[in-house]
Structure 1
Amino acid sequence: MSASRGEFTSRFGFILAAAGSAVGLGNIWGFPTQTAGNGGAAFVLVYLILAFFLAYPAFMAELVIGRHGQANAVTSLRKISNNSTQRIFAFIVGFGGIVCAALILSFYGIIAGWMMSYAVEPVTRVVGLTAVGDWVISQSLARNLLFVSIFMFMTVSIIRFGVEQGIEKWSKRLMPALIIILLSLIGYVMTLEGASEGLQAYLLPDFSRVLDPNLLVSALGQAFFSLSLGTSVMIIYGSYISRKENLVTLGAQVTLIDVSIAFLAGLLIIPAMYVAQASGVTIFGEDGSLVSGPGLVFSVLPALFDGMGSMGVLFSFAFFVLMSVAALTSSISMLEGPVSYVVENHGVERKKATTLIGIFILMLSCIIVFNLGTLLDFVATLSTEYGQPIIGMLCCIFVGWIWHRNNLLSELQSGYEGVEHSLFWKIWPWYTKLVCPLCIGLVFFNSL
C-alpha cells in the first residue's frame, strides 16, 4: 500500500473506526424509533436475524473488496473486474455507493445538528440564557442552517487529517466516551417508574408480526444503515486494513459491537418512553401507533429530563452529547468515501478535496433545510431503505459471481492462513453468491 494513502495502525484502531462508522444515529436514534413503531420486540428479533444473516455477509464482501483493491470503491471494484462490461458495472456500483454516502450525510448532518442544539440547550439554562435556550431547540430556518454548518465543519476538520491522525485518532477518543455515557444513562433510567413495562415491550416479541412486509423492509434497511453498507464506506475502510489482519474475525467483531450498541440504545430509549408515558407524556395513539415518529427523541426524552429536576439538566446534556458523538463517528466515515475517490482518481490534494466536498454536501443539506417537510423523509428513505440494500446486494454479486474464487480465497488467506478449512469459508462464498442477493432482492421487491 502506498504510504500516502495511510493505514490503520492497529486492529483496535480499525475496530473502533469501523464500529464508529456503524454506530451512529442509526443505532441510537433510528433503531429505537423503528423498534417502537414496528412492533417492539418483534422488530428487534427480525433486525438481529437480518443483521447476522444478511448484513454481516454483505459487510464481509465490502471489507474483502476494499483490502484487495487498496483503493477507493470504484477502483477496488474495477480491480476484480474481468472485462470492459464488468468495469462499467464496477463504476456504477462504486460511484453509486459514493452518491449514496453523500445523500445520507446531507440529511444526517441536519439531524446531527439538532442533537447538538439540544446538547447546547441545558448549558444555556444553567448560565441563565433562557431566550437562547428556547431558540436553539426551536424548529427555525436559522437554527437549522447554523447547526448543520457547525456539524459539517467538525466532520471536515477531522477528515482533512487523513486516516491515522483523523479517523483513527478521533474514533479512539469518541467511541469509549459514547459507550460510557450510554451505559450510565441506562443504569439511571432502569431505576424509574415505568421502565419495567418498557423492558417487556422491548424484550417479549409478538411473533405474529415478524413476517409483516413493512417490518421486514424497515429491519433490513436499518441493518444496512447501521453497518454503513452500500455507501462505499466499508470498501474504503477495508482498503486501510493491514494484510496481516484476519478479516473474518474483524468483520464479526465490528458487527457484534454495532448490534450490541443498537440493542443497548433500545434498552435506554424504549424504557425511557414508558417512563415518560407514566409521567403523563403521550407516546402511542389509540391504534397503538407511535405518535412522535422520527421526532421521538426530541419529544419524549426532553419531557423525561424535565421531570428529573436539577439532575435532568445533567442527563439531558449527557444524552445529547452522546447523540452528537455517535453522529460524528459516522459522518467522518461517510465523508471519507467521496474524498478518497476524488483524491485517488482525480489527483486532488486531500485537504482541498475534503473542503470542497464538505461544502458541496453542506449545500445539499441547506436545500433540504429549505424544503424540510418534503425532502428530509424522501432523501432518507431513498438512500437508506432503497439505495443501501441495492448497492450492498450488488457488492455481494461482485464477490459471488465476478471475483474468481481462488483469488478471493487468496485475499482472505492474508492474515488467516487456514481460512479454507474454516466453517466461514465453507458457507460464506456460496451464501454471498446465492442467498444474500436473493433474500435482499425479495425483501426489496416485496416493499414495492
Structure 2
Amino acid sequence: MKNTNGSQKREWWNSKTGFILACVGSAVGMGNIWLFPYRMATYGGSFLLVYLIFDVLLGFSGVVGEMSFGRAVRSGPVEAFGTACASRGESKRNIGRAIGAIPMLGALALAIGYSVVVSWIVKYMTGSITGSVLKSDSVDGFAASFGQMASSFGNNMWLIIVLVITFVIMAAGISSGIEKANKVMIPVFYVLFIGLAVYVALQPGAADGYRWMFTIRPEAFKDPMLYVFALGQSFFSLSLAGNGTIIYGSYLSDKEDTVSSAITVAICDTCAAMLAALVIIPAMATTGAVLSESGPGLMFISLPHLFSTMPGGQIVMFIFFLAALFAGLTSLVNLYEAPVATLQDNLKFGRAKAVIVIAAVGAAVSLCIQGIVSQWMDFVSIYICPLGAGLAGIMFAWVWGRRAVEEAVSTGRKHPIGKWYYPLYKYVFCILTIAVFVLGALNGGDWLGAPAPSAPLFFYGF
C-alpha cells in the first residue's frame, strides 16, 4: 500500500500479535527495570496507584494517537507532520516535514546513546558467566569497575557487537526481521523475569519486600513529587516521543483496532515494570539492603553487588542481564527504525542502503560518546522526547483536525471512536506532554532518577 504522498510500497506486520509484541518491545526498556522498582520502594502502593492513572490517560490518548497517526499517513514523523500541514495548504507540507525531522533526529540520537547502555548490559551478561564482573567485594569496587567501563572508548568491542546484532535484525525487514525478533525476545523476557520472581519469592525475608511495595501510604499523596515521578515514569515507559510508535503504526493494517492494541501495550509494559519490582525489591529485602538509588547505579553497581551475595548469584545475574538485553535490543531496533524509514520514504533508499547509512552514523557517534553518554542522554530525554511527543500531538489534533483524528482512530474498529477521544488527546495529552517538558527543563536530570555514586546520572524509559 502506498502512503498519502504516493511513495513506494511499504512493508506490513504479518499479524496483530507481531505488531503488539514489537510495540511492547519498544515500550519495555531500562526505565521499567532500573527506575520503576526504585519508585515503588520509595512510595509503595501509593506510587503504583498514581502511575496507573497516568498510564490510562497517556495510553488512551498518546499511544492510540501516535499509532493511528502513523497508520493514517503510512509514514514516519517527517511525512506525517508534512501531511498534517498540507491539509492547511500544500505549500505548508515542507514546513511540516522540517518540523517532523525533530522527533526523527531525536530517535536517532536516543538510539545512539541507548546503544552504549545495551553494550554495558552485554558485558555484564557475559561477565556473569566468566565471573569477571563479580570479583569486587564491596559496592565501591563495583562502582569503580562500572566507572572504568563507562569511560571514553571503554567498551568498544561489546558496543560493536550490539550494533551488528541490531542492524542485522533491521536489515531483514519489518516482518522477517523486527517482527520475528520481537516474537522471540519479548516472550522470553517475561519468562525469564517470572522465573527470577519465583526464585526470589522462595528466599527468606522476601515477604517483607512485598509488604513494603504494596502498602498504600496516605501521607505519600501529599508529596507533589509523587505525581511528578509517576507522570514521568508513565510517559517515558510508554515510549511517547513522536517517532517510534508512529513509525510502527505506519506498518499496521487498516483492519486492526489501535485502541485495543494500545491497551494491550500499556498493560504489558506495566506488567514488565511490576515483574522487575517483584524481583528487585524482595531481593533487597532478603539481604536487608536498602534500595537507595536508581538508574545505572542500581543496575550496574547495587544489583551486581547484591547478586554476588545471593545463593546461585552468578546464574541469577546472567538470567537478569539476558532479560535486560532483550528489553534493550527491542527498544533499540524501534529507535533506529524511525531514521531508517525516513531515508526509505523521503530519499527513496532501499532497505539495505538505509540500514547501512544509519548503521555507519550510529557506530561512529556511539563509539565517540561513551564518556559523555550521561549528558547526551540527559539532553535528548529531557528536551527532545517530550518535544517530539508534543509536536506530534499538535500536528495530529490541532493542525490536522478533529475529523482526521476521529477517522484515523476509528479505522479498524467495529464502532467509531466516541466523541470523548478528541478532547482527551487534544487537551489532556498535550497538556501532560507540556508538563513533562517543563518539569524536565526545571529539574534537569535529577527529576526522573536519583544520583548514584560514581555513575552517570540520566534516565530514559525506552
Structure 1-normalised TM-score?
A: 0.87
Q: Given the superposition, is the C-alpha separation of residues 293 and 395 from structure 1 closer, same or farther in structure 2, using an over 3 Å criterion?
A: closer
For residues 82-133 of structure 1, the C-alpha deviation after alignment (integer angstroms, 9 at most, x for no partner) is 235854553354211112212221221122111111110132249xx989xx
Counterpart for residue 393 of structure 1:
390
Q: Quick one: which amino acid aligns to residue 75 of structure 1? A: E
Matched, 1:306 2:308: yes
2:114 to 108, 115, 120: 108
Q: Quick one: which amino acid aligns to residue 368 of structure 2? A: I
C-alpha separation in 2, matches of 1:156 and 1:330: 13
Q: Given the superposition, is the C-alpha separation of residues 168 and 136 from structure 1 closer, same or farther in structure 2, using an over 3 Å criterion?
A: farther
The 8 Å contact of residues 126 and 318 in structure 2, kept in 1 or not, is answered as yes
For residues 252-281 of structure 1, the C-alpha deviation after alignment (integer angstroms, 9 at most, x for no partner) is 1111111221122111122222224x2xx5
Q: Secondary structure at the match of 2:420?
A: helix
Shift of 1:428: 1.3
C-alpha separation in 2, matches of 1:317 and 1:191: 19
Q: Quick one: which amino acid aligns to residue 107 of structure 1? A: G
C-alpha separation in 2, matches of 1:51 and 1:41: 15
Q: Given the superposition, is the C-alpha separation of residues 66 and 136 from structure 1 closer, same or farther in structure 2, using an over 3 Å criterion?
A: same
1:404 to 401, 406, 413: 401
The 8 Å contact of residues 120 and 155 in structure 2, kept in 1 or not, is answered as yes
C-alpha separation in 2, matches of 1:209 and 1:384: 27
1:71 to 68, 75, 83: 75
Q: Secondary structure at the match of 1:419?
A: coil
The 8 Å contact of residues 30 and 294 in structure 1, kept in 2 or not, is answered as no
Q: Given the superposition, is the C-alpha separation of residues 183 and 337 from structure 1 closer, same or farther in structure 2, using an over 3 Å criterion?
A: same
C-alpha separation in 2, matches of 1:265 and 1:327: 14
Counterpart for residue 437 of structure 1:
430
The 8 Å contact of residues 194 and 274 in structure 1, kept in 2 or not, is answered as yes
Q: Given the superposition, is the C-alpha separation of residues 224 and 89 from structure 1 closer, same or farther in structure 2, using an over 3 Å criterion?
A: farther
- The root-mean-square deviation of aligned C-alpha atoms, in Å, is 2.7
C-alpha separation in 2, matches of 1:380 and 1:35: 24
Counterpart for residue 342 of structure 1:
343
Which has the larger displacement, 188-197 or 317-326? 188-197
C-alpha separation in 2, matches of 1:89 and 1:198: 53
Q: Given the superposition, is the C-alpha separation of residues 93 and 218 from structure 1 closer, same or farther in structure 2, using an over 3 Å criterion?
A: farther
Matched, 1:269 2:270: no
Matched, 1:139 2:148: yes
Shift of 1:328: 0.6
Q: Secondary structure at the match of 1:266?
A: helix
Query: Deviating runs (4+, > 6 A) in structure 1?
Result: 134-138
Counterpart for residue 258 of structure 1:
269
Counterpart for residue 25 of structure 1:
30
Tell me the number of residue pairs that the alignment of Structure 1 and Structure 2 aligns.
425
The 8 Å contact of residues 240 and 386 in structure 2, kept in 1 or not, is answered as yes
For residues 113-157 of structure 1, the C-alpha deviation after alignment (integer angstroms, 9 at most, x for no partner) is 11111110132249xx989xx999673355422222211111111
- Within 5 Å, give how 1:372-391 maps onto structure 2: 376-391=373-388
C-alpha separation in 2, matches of 1:33 and 1:115: 19
- Within 5 Å, give how 1:25-424 maps onto structure 2: 25-36=30-41, 39-81=43-85, 82-83=87-88, 87=93, 90-125=96-131, 139-140=148-149, 141=151, 143-210=154-221, 212-276=223-287, 278=288, 281=289, 283=290, 290-291=292-293, 294-309=296-311, 311-371=312-372, 376-420=373-417
Q: Secondary structure at the match of 2:43?
A: coil
For residues 386-417 of structure 1, the C-alpha deviation after alignment (integer angstroms, 9 at most, x for no partner) is 32223222322223222233333333333114
Q: Given the superposition, is the C-alpha separation of residues 227 and 391 from structure 1 closer, same or farther in structure 2, using an over 3 Å criterion?
A: same
Q: Given the superposition, is the C-alpha separation of residues 190 and 167 from structure 1 closer, same or farther in structure 2, using an over 3 Å criterion?
A: same
The 8 Å contact of residues 119 and 321 in structure 1, kept in 2 or not, is answered as yes
Q: Given the superposition, is the C-alpha separation of residues 55 and 11 from structure 1 closer, same or farther in structure 2, using an over 3 Å criterion?
A: closer
For residues 157-193 of structure 1, the C-alpha deviation after alignment (integer angstroms, 9 at most, x for no partner) is 1111110111101111111111100100001111223
Q: Secondary structure at the match of 2:369?
A: helix
> Which 5+ residue runs of structure 1 have no aligned equivalent?
285-289
Structure 2-normalised TM-score?
A: 0.84
Shift of 1:292: 6.2
Q: Given the superposition, is the C-alpha separation of residues 102 and 381 from structure 1 closer, same or farther in structure 2, using an over 3 Å criterion?
A: same
Q: Quick one: which amino acid aligns to residue 445 of structure 1? A: V
> Which 5+ residue runs of structure 2 have no aligned equivalent?
3-7, 137-141, 443-462
